[in-house]
Structure 1
């Protein structure tokens, strides 16, 4: 069973574009303390569209009139993307989505036995009956439908296959495999998605949470196994530890697997800044892809290598992201970095002076727990260089 699944998944996955469905405005906003205004929602949607994202989950209409109005504002902005509404498996949620003006809904259904027992009357049969009713109703109202399998990663696989078949029969075009509690690793993700891909030709979307730091890896594994869509959020914003970050998934798919998502990499920094400002969440300096320091180098060995041949310490070209390498001066710097930095400041030093400057740079970096600014480097150079070149200066200073 698994072997045939893998063969099918490779056949489907090879070379096809991957659609990223960004859920920053829904799952991202569910992060504790995050609350977007309608204007911020439109601005984020616009930034995503400008970055080439073609699908967004714009919100949850069942929250009420304000949410419906915000989603409608996104729809009325006529951006080049599909705005999707997230709904519970209820007809009234579908009606709220219609009021918001969207053309597609993601209707969520608990699919693990744990969740079904707690949230659905009638067990598995009750869940299937709800699915047939609500998906059929949404299709009658002219909406495209994705069925979200809540807690798919803890569900019985044979029942998941049954749910997917019922979703297709009712008119759905997609099934979302939600790792709601982040219990998967890449190996289990691959096996699960490959099994589901072998059983259906529906679009399959992976929705990974990051509690174990595996959301990006699990998303890549799912795509490799045949998932056609990936649910992501900007800077990984979301409940608990968040979701698979848009920027990581888009770049990793291209860099490691040659898969196109249509995302413009040089716009990712702008999107991250817009979302971070609206969420009042700082972007960590070492955040993959969009962090301020991800192309910053201090190590003397790395700087020396990069100055000789960028290929020595460059796998991802920062130019693809509209960025460039930056060399920081600090405890781990070497003579090459000191010489290069002084040259950029139009300062000259011989080898003896360079070694003295490097020693003081290292002492200062340890004392201040920081890198050395241009002004600080200039001051250190003056301390070393000027007494030797300006007679009487050292005595006058005393």
Structure 2
């Protein structure tokens, strides 16, 4: 298996943490069967890395991760750990290839969460990295709350991490407060000051996790941390499907992931977590490739690219139409003609009124079968 990210590698790595950070979403708890199913699907789709849990959390978690390792999936598995030797020792027992070691980077967390100082953080970081190098083949240093850290201290951490031979450093926008311009201009300084590949881990508290992730790539970051459907703590994380598709179509950045599998994987995680996917959720939502407006329907029938920046089939979806408030007479006539139904103008207008009443009552567009039901009752 490939060791990791080369300094000059052009492809952006997608590092999925659905089975760790995603499981921190309120109410989410995967069984082993569910973890295996999700891990297999992501590995087969071509994900670059899977963060699969926190062994120090419990003996049952350690056992589940060990079972995942025993599957010998064609992808690197890593675990999340505090900068505590006992956490790392629990990870070593699972047999994972790599570990992520998380340290607080902001004075807010160093002083007010751990009641420590910067010197202690650097010392603890060094001890844990040196210990991990004896046991695993890949080390990610995670900088928690890096978005609120002092830039000079971040550079000091990166310099020390480079000396210690860390394979990748994760910059975490833990509270989701960053915005894309700040990400781009600030993080360029970090990229230019280190040879270590950098990963961006964005939270979605202000709805900017995907945009911030793209800005990080534009700034020179080599990896993006994602979760399926964006599930995670609080408002969640950068969504795998959004980041992967935006990298491919907005930034023209190659990704190894098979985009046609995004929808099925999204539905799988939705089922496993019992969290319904919002209808308008980008890429995997029920309505995102459905047109209701007559103007849009006419446009996509002439050329799908009139209202789509990429083909639905490229992400495992299909274009569809529905009938709603803005569908208009032309859309109804098109449906009737397709079914071989000929009606006079007065009847068509009557059907339109009934459709409008029903869509207003149901607060949603109507499916084709529902419209045909109205036609049948009217005629």
- Would the TM-score normalized by the shorter structure come out above 0.5? yes
Aligned partner (choices 287, 297, 316) of residue 310 of structure 2:
316
Deviation at 1:337, TM superposition (A): 1.6
Instruction: Map Cα deviations across residues 309-341 of structure 1 (whole Å, 9 max, x no partner).
Output: 223212121121122211101111022321222
- In the alignment, what sits opposite 1:164? 158
Instruction: Give the equivalent residue in structure 2 for 1:259.
Output: 253
Matched-pair contact (CA < 8 Å) for 2:24–2:232 = yes
Of 26, 36, 52, which aligns to 2:46? 52
Structure 1 residue 202 corresponds to structure 2 residue 196: yes
Shift of 1:80: 1.1
Alpha-carbon distance in 2 for matches of 1:350, 1:308: 26
Q: 1:224 aligns with which of 218, 221, 228?
A: 218
The answer on whether the counterparts of 1:42 and 1:70 sit within 8 Å (CA) in structure 2 is no
Sort the Cα spacing of 1:368 and 1:282 in 2 relative to 1 into closer, same or farther, 3 A.
closer
Superposed CA offset, 1:260-318 (max 9, x none): 22111110111111111111111111111001110011111111111222232121211
Cα distance change, pair 359–57 in 1 and its aligned pair in 2 (3 A): same
Partner of 1:62: 56
Q: Partners in 1 of 2:344 and 2:258 — Cα distance? A: 45
State whether structure 2 residue 242 is matched by structure 1 residue 281.
no
Give the CA RMSD over aligned residues. 1.7
Change (3 A) 1:185 1:45: same
Structure exhibiting the larger radius of gyration computed from Cα positions: 1
Q: Which runs of 5+ in 1 are unaligned?
A: 1-11, 387-398
User: Does structure 1 conserve the Cα–Cα contact (< 8 Å) formed by 2:228 and 2:241?
Assistant: yes
Q: Does 1:78 align with 2:72?
A: yes
User: Within 2, Cα distance between the matches of 1:192 and 1:71?
Assistant: 36
CA contact (8 A) 1:51 1:271 kept: no
Shift of 1:119: 4.2
Which residue does 2:147 correspond to in 1?
153
Residue among 346, 350, 357 paired with 2:351: 357
Moved more, 82-91 or 116-125: 116-125
Quick one: distance in 2 between partners of 1:158 and 1:57? Answer: 29
**Partner of residue 192 from structure 1, selected from 181, 186, 191:** 186
Specify which structure has the higher proportion of helix: 1
Paired with 2:36 and 2:372, the residues of 1 have a C-alpha distance of 46
Matched with 1:177 is: 171
Stretches of structure 2 lacking an aligned partner (at least 5 in a row): 1-6
Q: Normalized against structure 1, the TM-score is what?
A: 0.90
Within 1, Cα distance between the matches of 2:246 and 2:295?
26
Are 1:39 and 2:36 matched, yes or no? no
How far, CA to CA, are the matches of 1:257 and 1:225 in structure 2?
12
4+ residue runs of structure 1 moved beyond 6 angstroms? none
Q: Which moved more, 1:168-177 or 1:240-249?
A: 168-177
